[in-house]
Structure 1
Amino acid sequence: MSVRLSKTHVDKALKDVAAGGKSYDLIDSQQPGLILRVGPRGARWGFKIIRKGTTYRLTLGSPPGLTLDEAREIVAAAQRHVANRTAAPDDRFLEAEFIRLGKVAPRPAPPPRDPALVAERERSIADIPYWTWEVARTEYLAEVKRTLREATWRDYSAKLGAPELAILAGKAVRRVTLEDLAGVVYEVHRSGRETHAVNLASALRPMWRWMWQPHIRTRSGIGIEGVGADMSKLAAPPKSSARKVRANGKVAGRYVATAPEIGTILGVARAGILDPTVSLALELLVLTAQRRRPVVDARVEDFVPWAEVPGWGVWSMGPAHRKTADKRDDQSRHALPLPPALWQRIAQQLKACSERGLEHLFPQIRAWKLGDTVGGHMNEAGLNHRLLDLGVRASPHDLRRGFSTHAQKTLRLPRDAVKLIMDHNEGIAADDVLEGHYTLDDRLDLKAPVMERWTAWCDEQAAAAAAGFRPLPELAAEISARRRARERDGKAKSAAKKAAAAEAAEDKALAA
């Protein structure tokens, strides 16, 4: 029903609502589009018009909270917006009208935008196409695996997976500063792992140098628009002047394997209480005085009988398996003659590997870590672990010092003769033109007497040690007990190290 609405109509509508009367609508003839809807649920002001086939509806509110005059003002404003096409009569329009009429308080103004947050947001958007730390590490390690030795790849994987680097998680590498990495290296150094700090810096520098290359920077983002740090000056703090004494009483880089230790290692290796592969690897380590990496990485194809001397064998190490040789493009091989007793044991292992189609003389016995597949050669750290299990203080490098010391001091072998066995260049300068370009000689005849005398001396030490062994079952149980204790301690230290690194990263994040 269309009427000129007045206060009387509004009051009657409120009474009808209270009495539960019938529903009805009153259309205001004074202000087209204004409707008073009355029903059991209450009285409400409404707005409805049709313009060019479009219907506009809006519920305005209820009397007496919204008076007749106020409802007419709102509808008149809605009519003007529709006619002028300036705004649609919706909830935002209604809120603005209520604010104008003083019905509701204006919304508080939004706080001013923090310029630093705005800049950070813009920077994050700009970094989206480029590598994060995790992506960069994966890409770089893939390149290391493609171009360098597998052992180098494993070494870099461990260093770049250090818990201390967790603070870089999710961060674009182009935003990593020299100070960020220097702080990580410093924390490692301050924890007492000074050598590890040096090694960590030496792994991070080439990674950044690789990401600076023109064909890589388009993906890494380093150098794009001048963003990215130069890590060439990244270095660990100087090492402490005092000699670092380890928990077992050894001074790093100074300990020489004793004659009883050499005898114990060989005696146990030949007693048959260790895995045959590990036993032979330990024997080759002691009798050839080579580093642990060429020993564990020894290929079946590198061992051949010595044609000129029956009963002897030859181990010929290629440059890819020797320290720094591949970097110098050194194609020479380091060949060692193997005395008959040692060659006989190696020949048996060679036969077993050939029958199984294995590439390495010392195949992997079990996975290096959980989730890995079994394949390739034994882990070089396994040699260190077995020496600890035997109860000796000597490490693989201490055994090399033992060879150099005892061969010269006890056997009175000339220094040059010792170099023929130990030195990858066999005592000849790496840049020697005559050797590098004109000489093809393994000098096996000069090396054989050295190996023969050294092996005989080691056999004497092994026999003396074996004479003092307790019954083999007891000795085996003792070695197993040491191994279990070492593994428990290793797990505890690893857990403590990870917890400390996580706590340090959290503290640094909170400080930032």
Structure 2
Amino acid sequence: MPRKAEVLTATAIEAMIREARETGAAPRDVADGGCQGLTLRLTPTAAVWSIRFRYADKPLRIRLGDAREWTLAQARSVAVAVRDHVEAGQGVPAEEWISLKRTAITSKGEGPAFMLRDRGPATWTLEEGREAWGAWMRREVEAGLLRPATVRNYLSVMGGPAMRTLDTRYVSRITAADIAAVVETLVAEGKRSTARDIVRVSKRFWPWMGDAGRRHLSGADTNTVAGLKAPEMGTRPQRRSPRLPAVAYMLAVAQTGVLSTSVGGAIELLIHTAQRRSSVVKARVDEFEPWAEREGWGVWWQGHRTISRDTPTEADPRHGAHALPLPPQVWWRIEAYLDFSRREAEERGVPRSPWMYPAARPRRLGDPVTHLSPHTLTHAVAAMPGVEAAPRDVRRVFATVCQRDLGVATPVVGMVLDHAHSDLREVSDGNAMTRRDTPDQMLALKAPALEAWQTAVWAERLKIDLPDSETLKSQIVAENLRQRGVTDLEAEGERRRQAAARAYAEGRTWRQRRRPTGATNPA
């Protein structure tokens, strides 16, 4: 229902339209005390004049026009004319009649000359700009120039609740002060990291919109965010600098068998090759093969790469891959794992997974089983007792040990780590040509570095004395529960038993879903 009638003014109407658009308030009606029945309908995206009254004991609501185009005087005059038309028994007038009546009133001088009122420019709103940016970035992903994770991150930041308050604003009317106000609100809520992300991504988003090829569509000024500053994060914790013993301890735990076969094998490969989590978990069985030039060695033709280097071709199916030589001790472990996974598939009577490290179950019910999640490796390492390191730290230790202790040249370290440029701290790489201007994998240069690294890790591994498997497993479980905030073990055990019983009763357990069609649950 409309509010209690009050005489509206043009200034008040503009303010109400702007408030509804900027705050995203719920739709509401405002009655004009200067004209009986005249009502302004306000929503975040529209403002419409209507005339409301009763005729022949029936309520009528007749739309007049857009309040951003109609003046207040025009709305009042046409509202009176529409009501007279209906009460004269001539029915509800058509939209064309209302439009002509408005034109006639204006031409007779009964209202101000027609003019646009608060009409936005014919350019993007922030929401439209974000959608266009997303479409452009997805095309860049298809071309191999951007990572899908980057697109998800950028869109989630610019499409977060804080920035959505500006969605209906035209880009050309958004100022640095508007974005700074969003940042300040997040800081007040204790969300400094999110506030910094908004500043970081805005400084990519606005220059893209302000590019000469799309400035006429967006209306953006690239200087809008030039002076925008991210909030300080306060006292930062000192960067963790794990040592080789921490990596060797991770390897020792992975080889004990207390973790699942896939998780343990993936951690081993990650440590021996110092590759990224996503590259390890997305490894495929057909990417591993013996190295014909060196007996006892293997090669991992890494298909997944964070930084795209072209794509495979029919003539060269390995084109664009990142090849890593695997020393004999490592290749022996890989072959043993491949034999184990093949035998396991044969015993179960199912096709062998194309993934080197398949997940235990699908991510969602009904989805196919794919590879391990990168987060699985992070959680597994975090639960190892006494390990203050993460999978990402292996790359830091590899770079440090190879350059400082093993005498491996910086360009070779960059080749192994698959860096676009050398981003290693305290070193300067002036010889990036070998990684950028040649398709040769240079396995002979990488092999000594990986062999020296494997030898160093294994020498440290032999110094580690682990508790028995049962004790180690209980320690891992306890640490995992602690990190999840579980304090009552009995209550947690009971919760899991009840959940398992419900899943079994509903036929949702993994074993039940693996049974052949038509098989029944045992009594």
Question: TM-score, normalised on structure 1?
Answer: 0.55
Partner of 1:304: 289
Measured after TM superposition, the shift of residue 276 of structure 1 is 1.8
Which runs of 5 or more residues in structure 1 are unaligned? 1-57, 59-86, 93-112, 246-250, 490-512
RMSD: 4.7
Q: Distance in 2 between matches of 1:170 and 1:372?
A: 38
User: Is the counterpart of residue 342 in structure 1 residue 334 in structure 2?
Assistant: no
Which runs of 5 or more residues in structure 2 are unaligned? 1-55, 57-83, 90-110, 312-318, 423-428, 487-523
Q: Distance in 2 between matches of 1:278 and 1:201?
A: 37
Question: Does structure 1 retain, via aligned residues, the 8 Å contact 2:288–2:298?
Answer: yes
Measured after TM superposition, the shift of residue 443 of structure 1 is 2.9
Measured after TM superposition, the shift of residue 133 of structure 1 is 7.4
User: Is the counterpart of residue 277 in structure 1 residue 265 in structure 2?
Assistant: no
Equivalent runs, 1:357-436 vs 2, <5 Å: 358-365=353-360, 373=367, 376-391=370-385, 392-411=387-406, 413=408, 415=410, 418-422=413-417, 424=419, 432=433
1:174/1:298 CA distance change after superposition, 3 Å:
farther
Amino acid at match of 1:339: P
Q: Distance in 1 between matches of 2:369 and 2:285?
A: 15
Q: Distance in 2 between matches of 1:385 and 1:375?
A: 20
Measured after TM superposition, the shift of residue 161 of structure 1 is 5.0
Please give the per-residue CA displacement for 1:186-218, whole angstroms capped at 9, x wherever unaligned: 555777776665554444444455556799x6x
Partner of 1:472: 469
Question: Does structure 2 retain, via aligned residues, the 8 Å contact 1:182–1:235?
Answer: no
Partner of 2:28: none
Measured after TM superposition, the shift of residue 343 of structure 1 is 2.0
Partner of 1:150: 148
Question: Does structure 1 retain, via aligned residues, the 8 Å contact 2:199–2:229?
Answer: no
Amino acid at match of 2:357: F
Q: Distance in 2 between matches of 1:235 and 1:259?
A: 43
Amino acid at match of 2:257: G
Q: Distance in 2 between matches of 1:379 and 1:180?
A: 39
Equivalent runs, 1:112-191 vs 2, <5 Å: 119=117, 122-123=119-120, 132=128, 139=135, 142-143=138-139, 146-147=142-143, 148-160=146-158, 162-168=160-166, 176-185=174-183
Amino acid at match of 2:380: R
How much identity, in percent, do the aligned residues show? 28
1:274/1:291 CA distance change after superposition, 3 Å:
same
1:144/1:463 CA distance change after superposition, 3 Å:
same
Q: Secondary structure at the match of 1:256?
A: coil
Question: TM-score, normalised on structure 2?
Answer: 0.54
Amino acid at match of 1:482: E
Greater Cα radius of gyration, structure 1 or 2: 1
Q: Distance in 2 between matches of 1:260 and 1:207?
A: 43
Question: Does structure 2 retain, via aligned residues, the 8 Å contact 1:205–1:231?
Answer: no
Q: Distance in 2 between matches of 1:453 and 1:363?
A: 30
Please give the per-residue CA displacement for 1:153-174, whole angstroms capped at 9, x wherever unaligned: 4444544454433434566666
Partner of 1:5: none
Measured after TM superposition, the shift of residue 261 of structure 1 is 1.4
Q: Distance in 2 between matches of 1:426 and 1:311?
A: 32
User: Is the counterpart of residue 482 in structure 1 residue 482 in structure 2?
Assistant: no
Q: Secondary structure at the match of 1:464?
A: coil
1:136/1:417 CA distance change after superposition, 3 Å:
closer
User: Is the counterpart of residue 321 in structure 1 residue 309 in structure 2?
Assistant: no
Measured after TM superposition, the shift of residue 387 of structure 1 is 2.0
Measured after TM superposition, the shift of residue 270 of structure 1 is 0.8
Measured after TM superposition, the shift of residue 230 of structure 1 is 3.6
1:419/1:223 CA distance change after superposition, 3 Å:
closer
Please give the per-residue CA displacement for 1:411-441, whole angstroms capped at 9, x wherever unaligned: 4555555444335369776763x7755x554
Q: Distance in 1 between matches of 2:191 and 2:139?
A: 28
Q: Distance in 1 between matches of 2:133 and 2:264?
A: 37
Amino acid at match of 2:452: R
Partner of 1:53: none
Q: Secondary structure at the match of 2:481?
A: helix
Measured after TM superposition, the shift of residue 472 of structure 1 is 1.6
Larger RCO, structure (CA 8 Å, separation 6 or more) = 1
Amino acid at match of 2:451: E
Q: Secondary structure at the match of 2:236?
A: coil
Please give the per-residue CA displacement for 1:464-502, whole angstroms capped at 9, x wherever unaligned: 33x232x3223222222322333349xxxxxxxxxxxxx
Partner of 2:512: none
Equivalent runs, 1:29-108 vs 2, <5 Å: 90=87
Partner of 1:33: none
Please give the per-residue CA displacement for 1:45-75, whole angstroms capped at 9, x wherever unaligned: xxxxxxxxxxxxx9xxxxxxxxxxxxxxxxx
Partner of 2:272: 287
1:173/1:242 CA distance change after superposition, 3 Å:
closer
Q: Secondary structure at the match of 1:383?
A: helix
Amino acid at match of 2:399: S
Amino acid at match of 1:294: S
Amino acid at match of 2:379: H
The structure with the largest helix share of the pair is: 1
Aligned residues: 357
Question: Does structure 1 retain, via aligned residues, the 8 Å contact 2:399–2:413?
Answer: yes
Q: Secondary structure at the match of 2:242?
A: coil
Q: Distance in 1 between matches of 2:421 and 2:85?
A: 92
Question: Does structure 1 retain, via aligned residues, the 8 Å contact 2:210–2:219?
Answer: no
Q: Distance in 2 between matches of 1:190 and 1:372?
A: 43
